[in-house]
Structure 1
């Protein structure tokens, strides 16, 4: 079944002095999600936004809030972001053992949000196997998490394809999201490999025309997805 690729603009690259304006712009341009990068300065070498921003965004947009926790203590922080209105919460597997990862997924879903797990570039996707059937989304990092504007790590599309393969074997169908260095030139590669959601930061917000840039990334991804499926979208 063909599922249109969705774009999740990352507000880390937005103008924080005009955040409401930028959020409205990408919402009107047809974004599928709003990606919120939470960094604690420990798990990754950067410090970004927290609960007050998520709570404010919940009031400012109808887009689903895709909250990506890049923190050392996700189990402690999960309740904060779920209470603030996150529609989807992504935890990294690296700071969690198998029991902690399963607990995080259970807590997210029990709160009525979508549960996602992410792997850094050096982490094999096979670590997701124990929870894959319970995940709503898998996030493949195609850069080292921590800073926006990095270049796409070559070969990341192979990791996307491996997630799709593991999901089929598990009889599950989580969305596959890719974050890092995604623009019109790289979107097709990951979409052809099976990516459903593309996180775009500078490729959208740093463009002269963010709405046109978003459309260009989405169109490149859609074209590649169709080609990978043999040129037919099938039944929606």
Structure 2
């Protein structure tokens, strides 16, 4: 029985409730500084994952084609619409957060949705539990997400709680697929997959810090392509 995804989702709900409740009493400078700090940490972790790459050309090719597919299918635009609907529904029942325009809210919400649901730790942790039954990696992510959700809920409000739903679904699906995926992966493929995730985390961190608004959601198809491309590169080129 899977445990990690549900524990991880519960941490987002608990942290989100605490952050959204405390956000109204936190000074503006604190609510501004905390996401910037976390954005910087996201960039740092992303750089660490990128360094582990084995076949960088395969990763670049997967990310470029994935970004093209994301743009053609309007992945980020679709997620943005869902984010707007989510905000409207949540604000009907819980106190809304003022001070953010719809565009600002959508930009931040999409970035943290990708950060929670597509991080390397979450993806590998879910696959690891599905394959071995050991949820320890997701427990580590749970501790991080508890504080992360509180930080962003202080800025975006109770809508952050809803991120628990797609994260739980994503992790359960990955855990179920792991039985078929992990046996055919190699360390090189995992390293390149981590690199792709690291690039997305760097883009997410820069977006959170308002340095560059990368369309991070449109980059997600690259994660689906990087392992096959890494395998083909190792077989045909390397």
Larger Rg: 2
- Give the TM-score range, shorter chain: under 0.3
Higher share in helix: 2
Higher share in strand: 1
- Higher RCO structure (Cα 8 Å, ≥6 apart): 2
Query: TM-score scaled to structure 1, two decimals?
Result: 0.25
Query: TM-score scaled to structure 2, two decimals?
Result: 0.24
